[in-house]
Amino acid sequence: MGDSSSDFTVAVLTLSDKGAKGERKDDSGLLIQEMLKEIKAEIKYYDILPDDKQRIKEKLIEYSSMVDLILTTGGTGLSPRDVTPEATLEILDRQVPGIAEAMRSGGLNITKRAMLSRAVAGVRGRSLIVNLPGSPRAVEESLSIIIDVIPHAIEKIKGDISECAR
């Protein structure tokens, strides 16, 4: 991989009915932004939307033309309002199932509830989109599992043709 200073842009999108109404502090979205400092990512956009599939799709499409990485938090569980994976799948060009599989697998070492996550990951255009859980603790656990591979994934999506051999 290239030098240790990453130069990619990020949008953080929190999906929460209560958060969008200002009834809940967005600890998860803030935690994502803090964790991304370790890979020197530039946060360009940050929004909180309600759990509305059409609005989520529109925002993901908008962001995908403007940033290299989109991290969502929330809406990946089993409640009827959890629609983030469906919205994401409808706008992806290609899935990257290994990312979501790694988060679930790593999460199972901590809690059996990790198997209930419906998070997905994939590519739209030249943007990597990853769904993270909604709770700050689960965000920290999931993002810590994948954070080291994000810069490499983005380089590949942007067209880096160097060999991946280690």
Q: Encode pLDDT of 65-82 as tens digits.
A: 999 999 999 999 999 999
What are the tens digits of pLDDT across the range 122-166?
999 999 999 999 999 999 999 999 999 999 999 999 997 666 655
CA 91 to CA 38: how far, in whole Å?
29
Residue 77 lies in a domain: yes
What are the tens digits of pLDDT across the range 8-60?
999 999 999 999 999 999 999 999 999 999 998 999 999 999 999 999 999 99
Domain range for 94 is 9-157
Residue 58 lies in a domain: yes
Cβ neighbour number for residue 84 with a 10 Å cutoff: 28
Residue 107 lies in a domain: yes
Find the mean pLDDT for residues 111-131: 97
CA 146 to CA 165: how far, in whole Å?
19
Residue 165 lies in a domain: no
Q: Please enumerate in sequence order all residues whose Cβ is within 8 A of that of 6, keeping only pairs 6 or more positions apart, or say none.
A: 39, 40, 41, 151, 154
Q: How many domains does the chain have?
A: 1
Q: Please enumerate in sequence order all residues whose Cβ is within 8 A of that of 112, keeping only pairs 6 or more positions apart, or say none.
A: none
Predicted confidence at residue 164, as pLDDT, reads: 60
Residues 117 and 57: beta-carbon distance below 8 Å:
no
Residue 62 lies in a domain: yes
- The CATH code of the domain that includes 103 is 3.40.980.10
Predicted confidence at residue 2, as pLDDT, reads: 40
What are the tens digits of pLDDT across the range 78-106?
999 999 999 999 999 999 999 999 999 99
